[in-house]
Amino acid sequence: MSIKGYVHYKRREFCKDVKCPVQLELDAQEQGSEEYEKIRQTCKANCRYTTYQFHHWLIEKGYLIVRPEPEK
């Protein structure tokens, strides 16, 4: 669901912006290749960045994290 006047976070935008060395390795591979999937496992299981770093990057870039209110 989009909010008018806002953009969604693009996949790996943070990784590319901070020039994550794992992301740079991924960019050098063909998406879906065996080597790509092997490198991708680092992102899935052992990311070099913390949620704290990611969260503060989102704030610095002006992203908002929103969710609908629970129904009463």
- Average pLDDT, rounded, for the chain: 93
CA dist 40 and 3 (Å) reads 30
In contact, 70 and 16? CB cutoff 8 Å: no
Residues 6+ apart with CB under 8 A from 50: none
Stretches where the chain sits below pLDDT 70 are 1
CA dist 39 and 47 (Å) reads 11
Radius of gyration of the chain (CA): 15
Model pLDDT, residue 1: 67
Model pLDDT, residue 10: 93
CA dist 14 and 54 (Å) reads 7
Model pLDDT, residue 49: 96
pTM: 0.80
